Amino acid sequence: MRKDIQKGTYIFAAIVMALFLQGCSRTTKVLPPTLEVDERQLKERSFAYQHFLNGVLLEQSGNLRAAAAEYRSALGFDPESSEIRYCLAEVFYQMNDLQSAIVVARQVSPLDARTSVLLADSHERLKQDSLAVKYYQHAVKLDGRDFKSHHNLSRLFKRLGEADSAIYHLRKVLELNPSFRSGYMELGALYVEKKDCAHAIETYRTAVTLFPKYVPAYWGLAENYLWCGEREAALETYRKLDELSGGKIIYKRKLLDVYMSQGDLDGAIRVAEELSILEPSDSFARMGLGMLYIAKGNYQRADSVFSLVLEKDPENLEALLNRGRVKLQLEELGEAKSDFEKVIALSDSLPEGWRDLALTYVSWDSTRKAIEVLKQGLEKVSDKFPLYYFLAITYHRQRDYSQAIEPLKKALEIHPEDTGVRLLLAEVYEYSGDTDRALDILEELVQDDPENATAANNLGYLLANLGIRLGEAKDLIIIALEKEPENPAFLDSYGWVLFRLENHKEAQRQIQKALDGRGDDPIILEHMGDILQARGKLQEAREFWKEALDLDPESLELKTKLEID
């Protein structure tokens, strides 16, 4: 950050002064009293230089803490030195001790350009954008050719939503350095934000003129031609991109992205058809459009794209699977079932077809039929893992926990280290009443992966439920919360273990935080009722139990608490 020539000059002066004073020290006693004061001052400066030199060497070797200590000592002997004060501030900055860097740098007087930049950098890292702007502005006031500060100001003003100021400083950047290619991209983007179509196109045209082989400039120009409605010019620019890239079609795909981002399905389909003609084996043009619509949650349009594909290729398994999944999202279960059955008829060895057909039956609340489909699929597929896993989930859904154990064991035989399967197996063992095995699995998980927050939480929660090792349970849940402090399940676990430790007031506070994040969870609602009951607030407790029962009408525990037969 600071200029090497300044530090180098100071080091040279320090060495010369130290040698000079060594030569003169033997004559100290014969100097007149008035000169003794001067000699002491010179010695103090010598000590300052020596500590400064030590600080420089330590800083260069990477020992920043020791360097800071030396710079502090140097300041003690030469408190008026702006150079030493700046160097100390810079070391604090390198150590990420930004507050100390700011305190020290503000004491530099007069405030020069490089110290202003250091203050600005520090405030920006602290996300104090307004103060960062203030000091960058001071830096460019002192040094109008400070390229970096102008660039930082343009970026900060953009973040602060002050587009005009951002543009002003970015134009300054380009005046100072016309060869800064990416600066034109940034300036063009700022004009886009301002909806200044003409200036955006002008900026990208300038970049293309200055850098005739700079691909991002052509991409920016093509994108803005589209934005401004000049489609023919955009297509011409994409053709140039295709030429520059040696015939690749990736930039036509980018045009497809632009159409999709604008919701122009017809335009996107036209480009996708063009891509299919240019490269028939390219699946992106046909399937990518539909997949991206799924990612955007636009299921109707995704449905139309996959249907278009299937009109041309009725046996396209990927299109059938994806259209079936879209139909599930649209709750058109009959059509989803039809697509998945076609997948199975075309390829009964594909596990996704069986799994997704079973999911359709689950959506129909027909878990029995879903289980039949999964068992049938297991006889046909070689990759059985996803079917075993989903079979266990389906048993779990219908609370047939003992039946879920066997498919989970078989899934673990295939993928012994799968964390999701191990967690679910521990849960079904717990619900089946075999808490010893559940504990064994969770303890092994925590031992294998101490960073797994869910495993730590689940083990802590189970211990709390059993009323054993409550201190350990609390510690485990705290570990989970340190990783995911807003997780409602973890907050509920923490409240529950506090309840078991009879800290009812704090338990209620934690459970309320869990409800704030997930107010429709019957377990959390039941826990709140239990805590309120323990605090002597039975009527309030019953309200929470009733709400939990509405969400989980089969719960025998809730019915017992509410005295319902």
In a domain, 488, yes or no: yes
Number of domains forming the structure of the chain? 1
State the pLDDT confidence band at 238, using cuts at 50, 70 and 90: confident
Query: Who contacts 232 (Cβ-Cβ below 8 Å, separation ≥6)?
Result: none
Q: Is residue 494 part of a domain?
A: yes
* CA 218/CA 220 separation, integer angstroms: 5
Residue 273 has pLDDT above 90, yes or no: no
Band of residue 190 on the pLDDT scale cut at 50, 70, 90: very high
Residue 481 included in any domain: yes
What percentage of the chain has pLDDT greater than the value 90?
72
Checking if the pLDDT of 247 tops 60, the result is: no
Q: Could you tell me which of 521, 515, 529 has the C-alpha nearest to residue 559?
A: 529
Do the Cβ atoms of 496 and 507 come closer than 8 Å?
A: yes
Phi and psi for 141 in degrees, rounded to 5? -65, -40
Residue 261 is predicted with a pLDDT of 64
Provide the CATH number for the domain around residue 522. 1.25.40.10
Does residue 40 register a pLDDT over 50?
yes
User: What tokens were used for 30?
Assistant: 């014969």
Answer yes or no: is 40 within a domain.
no
Q: Residue 89: is it exposed, middle or buried by C-beta count within 10 angstroms (0-12/13-18/19+)?
A: buried
Provide the pLDDT confidence category of residue 258 given band limits of 50, 70 and 90.
low
Q: Model confidence over 376-435: pLDDT tens digits? A: 999 999 999 999 999 999 999 999 999 999 999 999 999 999 999 999 999 999 999 999
Would 517 be classed as within a structural domain?
yes
Average pLDDT, the chain: 88
Find tokens 């702007």 and name the residue.
Answer: 133
347-376 mean pLDDT:
96
Half-sphere exposure of 413 (CA within 13 A, CB side): 9
How does 60-88 read in b/e, with b if 16+ C-beta sit within 10 Å? eeeebebbbbbbebbbebbeebebbbbbb
Scan for tokens 């599930």, then name that residue.
328
> Does residue 353 form part of some domain?
no
Q: Is residue 487 part of a domain?
A: yes
**CA dist 459 → 187, 224, 389, 473 (Å):** 54, 55, 21, 7
The whole domain housing 482 covers: 469-565
Query: In whole angstroms, how large is the CA radius of gyration of the chain?
Result: 35
Three-state DSSP at 3 gives coil
Residue 291 maps to a domain:
no
Question: If you average pLDDT over residues 311-324, what whole number do you get?
Answer: 93
